[in-house]
């Protein structure tokens, strides 16, 4: 098949465009203010004119990134969203992540597609379990992390105590770029440690528009704020004496973390975060393929699918594949190759995403995220390329920990039921397993967290018009097995063997103790771990506190 001619573009053009990109995700524990911070960033970059909040005051809109009805109703992010905007001379790609631990698999995929992360910390709570779990994912990916201490407008821990906590628990050396003037709950502004001076913040009505900032000298700040300024200046000097100053090389090696203080709901300190992203976050760089070879950003076009989503456009019910551009120039209409099948894929319908809103994407560059429309053949983890073949490392599938048998509430809607379950499986929303014993009428759904079942129920009802009934199954552990072992396992008590849609055989066990007993009794049976890594599994256990719901 003849590929459409790529517009003429030089290697220098591609390098220049890649250098302008900053692609990052925000990670946090639920309720740390991630959606509010996202809106505040868009507001300060003039991408929107008024900030919104999921549970906002009258006159404030819903957040751009939380577009699903379930997200807006519950005030949490349950799906990833891509938002592109410009700030200064830089193109910023913010890939929003689910805010709940039950959607860790989706977050893991997003963190595979970005070049840096912003770790959002609640000033009163410090580093919470989900934050630490996601930080460990960032560590595995080698992502540089910028830390933002949020909610400084409310009572909380002392700034120095938070610095100690960050260093003790993450191993990163905190290097504050700004330092709060006033205790948590009395936020006057920040001491700018990069270009010494005081930045005063003045809130606007309802926090719906950008906060007013005014810069004054240290002398003027001392006269105005007295002891609060003196304390901030002394603490900043102490940080300098102990070597807590920003070093770009150490940050990019992910051994230090720049720190900023803000109150996202008031839009305080947000402008400083945008500046830090532009000045310090890495641009799009060469990426390793499945063999470990680096694909240069100015090579032929390549990218990989990190998310598939349907139902974003209620009128068309189309499928959107979110593709991270890794190298070269993408242009709409080009025909690329799907690495997993070797088949051509036409990109006639390519769009730039702004939450749920879309605009036509005529071209994109390394670091950008492109939404390929009507991409029913693409799956999460698929690599795409033009000319020189490349395949990027596959995205892992997490071990499910919760299981439900699902049936259509109305048997006359079996066709809609099948279509919906298959689509949600295709998107990676849920894992779908079947067996001859249960039949196709009652597949088994596997989830990392129980809230995934709520998303399935919501989507099945509203996207596919098929109400469902779910029955909890008494299993807690899943392990990969082979066909020779499956027959023996299937005859044991409190064990069931199912086939996942990717043809992986999964043995389900009622409890960890039952799994251990079977493994001891039958040491020759194949029972392989499904987790992406030992580290990820242990972190997930710690984040959940081994509690089952």
Please report, in range form, the residues annotated as the binding site for GTP: 96-100
Cα–Cα dist 323/383, whole Å: 9
Nearest 5°: CA angle at 19, between 13 and 21?
Answer: 110
Neighbours of 223 (CB within 10 A): 11
The answer to whether 374 touches 393, Cβ cutoff 8 Å, is no
Burial of residue 387 (CB within 10 Å: 0-12, 13-18, 19+) is middle
| Neighbour tally for 465: CB within 10 Å | 13
> In the numeric block, which tokens belong to residue 444?
């088994």
Residue 45's nearest CA partner among 365, 356, 273, 213 is: 273
CA atoms within 13 A on the CB side of 321: 25
C-alpha–C-alpha distance, residues 43 and 41, integer Å: 5
Q: Which residues contact 364 (CB under 8 A, 6 or more apart)?
A: 325, 329, 330, 350, 352, 370
Please state the φ and ψ torsions of residue 68, each to the nearest 5 degrees.
-75, 145
Provide Rg for the chain, Cα atoms.
Answer: 25
| Burial of residue 474 (number of CB atoms within 10 Å: 0-12, 13-18, 19+) | exposed
Q: Are 489 and 499 in contact (CB under 8 A)?
A: no
Q: Is 329 left (phi over 0), alpha (psi -120 to 50) or beta?
A: beta
d(CA 210, CA 266): 8
Give kind and range of the element (H or E) at residue 258. Answer: strand 256-261
Residue 259, both tokens: 């720190």
Per the CB < 8 A criterion, the answer to whether 176 and 146 are in contact is no
Q: Which residues are annotated as a binding site?
A: 96-100
298/485 Cα distance (integer angstroms): 48
Q: Which helix (H) or strand (E) covers residue 223, if one does?
A: helix 218-225
Q: What CA–CA distance (Å, rounded) separates 286 from 296?
A: 4
Picking from 486, 531, 477, the residue whose alpha carbon sits closest to that of residue 509 is 477
Q: For helices 451-462 and 414-427, what crossing angle results, to 10°? A: 130
Pair of tokens at residue 488: 């023996």
Would you call 209 exposed, middle or buried from its count of C-beta atoms within 10 A (0-12, 13-18, 19+)?
A: middle
Nearest-angstrom CA–CA distance, 152 and 146: 17
Two tokens, residue 229: 């300024």
Backbone angles phi, psi at 175, to 5 degrees: -125, 85
Contact 446/402 with Cβ under 8 angstroms? Answer: yes
């Amino acid at each position: 098949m003849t590929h459409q001619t790529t517009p003429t573009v030089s290697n220098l053009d591609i390098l220049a465009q890649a250098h302008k990109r900053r692609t990052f995700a925000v990670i946090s524990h639920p309720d740390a203010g991630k959606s509010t911070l996202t809106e505040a960033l868009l507001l300060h970059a003039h991408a929107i004119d008024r900030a919104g909040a999921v549970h906002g005051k009258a006159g404030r809109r819903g957040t751009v990134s939380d577009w699903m009805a379930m997200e807006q109703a519950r005030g949490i992010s349950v799906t990833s969203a891509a938002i592109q905007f410009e700030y200064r001379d830089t193109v910023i790609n913010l890939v929003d992540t689910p805010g709940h631990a039950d959607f860790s698999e989706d977050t893991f995929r997003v963190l595979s597609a970005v070049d840096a992360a912003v770790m959002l910390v609640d000033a009163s709570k410090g580093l919470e379990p989900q934050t630490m779990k996601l930080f460990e994912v960032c560590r595995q990916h080698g992502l540089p992390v910028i830390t933002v201490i949020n909610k400084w407008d409310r009572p909380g821990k002392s700034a120095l105590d938070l610095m100690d906590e960050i260093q003790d628990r993450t191993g990163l050396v905190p290097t504050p770029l700004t330092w709060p003037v006033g205790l948590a709950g009395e936020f006057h502004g920040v001491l700018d440690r990069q270009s010494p001076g005081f930045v005063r913040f003045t809130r606007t009505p309802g926090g719906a528009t950008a906060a007013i900032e005014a810069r004054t000298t240290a002398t003027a700040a001392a006269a105005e704020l007295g002891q609060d300024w003196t304390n901030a200046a002394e603490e900043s000097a102490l940080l300098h004496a102990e070597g807590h100053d920003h070093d770009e090389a150490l940050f990019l090696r992910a051994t230090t973390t720049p720190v900023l203080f803000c109150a996202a709901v008031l839009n305080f300190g947000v402008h400083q975060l945008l500046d830090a992203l532009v000045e310090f976050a890495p641009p799009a760089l060469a990426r390793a393929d499945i063999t470990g070879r680096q694909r240069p950003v100015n090579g032929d076009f390549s990218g990989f699918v990190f998310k598939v989503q349907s139902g974003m456009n209620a009128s068309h019910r189309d499928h959107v594949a979110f593709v991270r551009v890794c190298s070269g120039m993408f242009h709409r209409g080009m025909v690329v190759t799907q690495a997993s099948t070797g088949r051509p894929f036409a990109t006639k319908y390519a769009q730039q995403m702004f939450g749920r809103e879309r605009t036509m994407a005529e071209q994109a560059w390394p670091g950008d995220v492109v939404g390929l429309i009507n991409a029913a053949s693409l799956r999460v983890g698929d690599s795409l390329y033009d000319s020189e073949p490349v395949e990027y490392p596959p995205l892992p599938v997490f071990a499910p920990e919760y299981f439900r048998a699902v049936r259509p509430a109305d048997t006359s809607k079996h066709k809609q039921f099948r279509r919906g379950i298959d689509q949600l499986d295709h998107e990676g929303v849920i894992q779908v397993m079947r067996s001859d014993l249960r039949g196709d009428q009652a597949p088994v759904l596997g989830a990392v967290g129980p809230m995934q079942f709520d998303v399935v129920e919501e989507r099945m009802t509203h996207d596919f018009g098929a109400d469902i009934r779910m029955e909890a199954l008494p299993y807690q552990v899943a392990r990969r097995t082979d066909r020779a072992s499956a027959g023996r396992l299937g005859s044991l008590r409190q064990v069931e063997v199912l086939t996942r849609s990717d043809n992986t055989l999964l043995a389900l066990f009622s409890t960890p103790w039952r799994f251990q007993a079977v493994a001891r009794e039958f040491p020759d049976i194949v029972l392989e771990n499904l987790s992406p890594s030992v580290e990820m599994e242990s972190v997930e256990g710690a984040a959940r506190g081994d509690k089952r719901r």
